[in-house]
Amino acid sequence: MSSNPSDQGARGGGLPAATPFAGLTPDAVLDAAEALGLSPDGRLFALNSYENRVYRVGRTDQAPVVLKFYRAGRWSDAQILEEHGFAQELAAADLPVAAPLTLQGNTLHHHAPRARLAAFPLCPGTAPELDAPGARELLGRTLARIHAVGARRRFLHRPTLERSVPAALARERLLDSPLLPEHMRPAYAQVSQNLLAGIELAFDGTGPLELIRLHGDCHLGNILWQATGPLFVDLDDCMNGPRMQDLWMFLSGSAREQQRQWLDIMDGYAQFGTLPFAELRLIEALRATRMLHHAAWIAERWADPAFPRAFPWAGEARFWEGYVGDLRAQCEQLEDPPLLRMLAMRDGSGP
């Protein structure tokens, strides 16, 4: 992904970027809800979120809503509004996506002095169980429909997933972080450089890619399962990129297990879209990118008190020793992607 321009106006008042939610007390959340005309009844429940802050807010006369407060300096207003517009476009196409509410003529709101927020409907649902009969096929069908809408145009302000660029940026951030133990820096520097080379080779092997608007962070934690199927939430990381970015995170386990999962997803996806076989080369490259990004993200946010509480093991040297070992193993996966090999054997063709 390309780097994100900050919205300096959202920071205001000199609040340190490391603790952007220090002033977001329960009273402040309820004041913001009142200012939007939501008639809060005082019931407030914090929902699971690290990058932003998200709350369920009870209302005196209507169903509860969800308020999302954006982390200062991460996205510009233009980028957030593109997120909102994409979600609303998907919802207008009868796709199951949690889209922001339009209140007082807008979806993005500024609450003095620093907060930017949006309101969303409270959507019911349970955790997905993709091993249930037909679940993966339904997931694939829905994602193909989302991608058909996403292909209509490109984002102008949101990031674009460009080959090894996001992985290289993550590598630089972690090497600059004091959280990475000094004795692990040479090993991390070498193995991460090897991963960058492998990611580049994977993109070389796919040929020209069509980049479309994507959910961008499409994993089970961002899906609620309803009686009618999946409901997609939290488009905070939506981007331009290859379709595979929204698909690979649903694959796990052995190569044989991933093959079964992939074929089930594609049974549904093929009903509304097509995916070039060459994009299978990107699965392990995108997995490597996420591995590099996740560790750098924790290190970059470490001064936010929520992160040491959520990821206490990141402060221990043994975690980083194991992490470098995982990166070495991922280098091997990049050299010989197991799912690609198994599917090529199944089809009787080379990758």
Tell me the catalytic residues: 217, 234
3-class secondary structure, 253: coil
Sign for the CA dihedral angle at 298, 301, 307, 313 comes to positive
Distance CA 310, CA 334 (A): 30
Sort residue 163 into left (φ over 0), alpha (ψ -120 to 50) or beta.
left
3-class secondary structure, 91: helix
Cis bond upstream, residue 26 (ω within 30) = no
Cβ atoms 119, 63 nearer than 8 A: no
The token duo for 266 is 């594609």
Distance CA 287, CA 246 (A): 12
The token duo for 264 is 């089930």
3-class secondary structure, 57: strand
The token duo for 144 is 């193909």
